[in-house]
Structure 1
């Protein structure tokens, strides 16, 4: 199969996992009713919680997580692929992982992916984030070979590391995924151009479900969930930060066609790097 309908669900997750799980289920059902065979939700679908103690109380292990449990049930009931963009999962070592889940139409867990790149930044206007203080980074790229497409996984800040997406494209991914909770400040500056660049560079579709709006914990996210085709064209967008569902028909043959037109993956060459110092002429041969 080369054609399927994809949905990117835009949410405004709060601090209550149970309430977010109910909204997650409602929106997944709505997307399926609109014909989506693949449904993606944003980063931190389960909850967005800044306070350390509240965060520790909100999240649990993978086998007990209500979002993962609901996704498994819904995928089987609706006969669709459900991609939980991410939720916080308590690891066996007591640390948290920012983890994505993909469930198949039979309810089976196909793949998980732990966010590799931690959002440790100091932005303008005093906005500062240290994701590594709460989460343990992953260390593996993941590509899932599905009947509908070969799917590459990423989460939010991973978007700024093109080598991850290049590795997935070289592994045959025709659809790249970037569920996110971009801040408003960084989203306004870079969200659209980075997503379009990753699509163009790799000749692949990009599906990016986003968090949007002012959250209960005081965080503000950009929204603007997007689906971008392999030529870099935005084919579907939630042009705001309110909860929404955006849908588009994905034709994986468009990825093959983009590779024929711009065969940069095939034309890439290895090279070495050299830094050459420009020594002022008057100092050449001077005694040291």
Structure 2
């Protein structure tokens, strides 16, 4: 598929799974009416809180994913859940997991966040995601009729080697669902998204939480799509809602031909 229409759901997730699922359903329906092939949501789209994270984790065959499967089928679209807290049968910790569901309600890809947000900025941010979350280890691509997609989650954005690995595995578009804070987002979010797009000559789809969070922090929003030249081709307003963007794989191929830097990579010591 040379042209793909993407719906970006910029939401303000609370600590109420059912209400969050209702929001996801409503936005998916709106995006489907406008012709979206795929709808993507932010990190932790169905539950966002510093408390009771393990208690609210579910398996891949739990209520959250099963509900999303039904929404995908009903609207005949792909749904990328952003991420949810996935139970880990081997450990007391949970995974921060992205799931891509196709229009028939089947899971096509599962990605578990590799880089965990263990950051302390005095007076601003003090989080240690690894206290509750176990990191994944696999760079994940999926190929379907729309193309080759790569997966990442939030803090992964700061690690260019992951994006290069996804590109080397054929990714033409890479998802970045996130809960980027207002403090870091205002200075780093757009810069990092554009950098990853330019470096790898891919489309980057960054979908961020927006507004006050249950844990007393604020998310930056500014969900956007960046093209392979590094141009922001679509950007969300400062509010909860959705954004529709069209990406053109012919443009991507032309960009790579015009400036073939991916073929100029060299090994060095």
TM-score range, shorter chain: over 0.9
1:180-195 alignment runs, 5 A limit? 180-195=178-193
Q: Could you tell me which residue of structure 1 aligns to residue 110 of structure 2?
A: 112
Match of 1:55 in 2: 53
Structure 1 residue 247 and structure 2 residue 254: aligned?
A: no
Q: Which runs of 4+ in 1 moved over 6 A?
A: none
Contact 1:65–1:89 at 8 Å: present in 2 too? Answer: no
- 1:201 Cα deviation (Å)? 0.7
Contact 2:10 2:240 in 1 (8 A): yes
Q: After the TM superposition, which residues 1-80 of structure 1 pair with which residues of structure 2 at under 5 Å, given as runs?
A: 1-51=1-51, 54-66=52-64, 68-80=65-77
Once residues 38 and 32 of structure 2 are traced to their aligned partners in structure 1, the CA distance between those partners, rounded to angstroms, is 8
Note the alpha carbon deviations across 1:178-234, whole angstroms, 9 max, x for none.
Answer: 000001111011000100111111111111111010012212111110011111111
Provide Cα deviations, 1:231-283, integer angstroms capped at 9, x if missing partner: 1111111131x2111111111112111111221211000000xxxxxxxxxxx
Q: Distance in 2 between matches of 1:82 and 1:70?
A: 11
Task: Count how many residue pairs are aligned between Structure 1 and Structure 2.
Answer: 268
What is the rounded CA distance, in whole Å, between the counterparts of 1:109 and 1:60 in structure 2?
15
TM-score, normalisation: structure 2 = 0.97
Query: Is the 2:32–2:77 contact (alpha carbons within 8 Å) kept by the matching residues of 1?
Result: yes
264, 269, 273: which one aligns with 2:266: 269
If you compute each CA radius of gyration, which structure gives the higher value, 1 or 2?
A: 1
Work out whether residues 4 and 37 of structure 2, in 8 Å CA contact, stay in contact via their aligned partners in 1. Answer: yes
1:97 positional shift = 0.4
TM-score, reference length from structure 1: 0.90
Partners of 1:212 and 1:221 within 8 A in 2: yes
Provide the C-alpha distance between the structure 2 equivalents of 1:16 and 1:176, rounded to a whole number of angstroms: 29
> 1:87 aligns to what?
84
Contact kept, 8 Å, 1:25 with 1:70, in 2: the verdict is no
- Closer/same/farther in 2, CA of residues 124 and 237 from structure 1, 3 Å limit: farther
State the 1:78 CA deviation.
1.6
**C-alpha contact (below 8 Å) 1:176/1:206 kept by paired residues:** yes
Q: Provide the rounded CA distance (Å) in 2 between the counterparts of 1:13 and 1:263.
A: 41
Q: Which runs of 5+ in 1 are unaligned?
A: 273-288
Q: Structure 2 CA distance, aligned partners of 1:186 and 1:126?
A: 10
SS at match of 1:63: coil
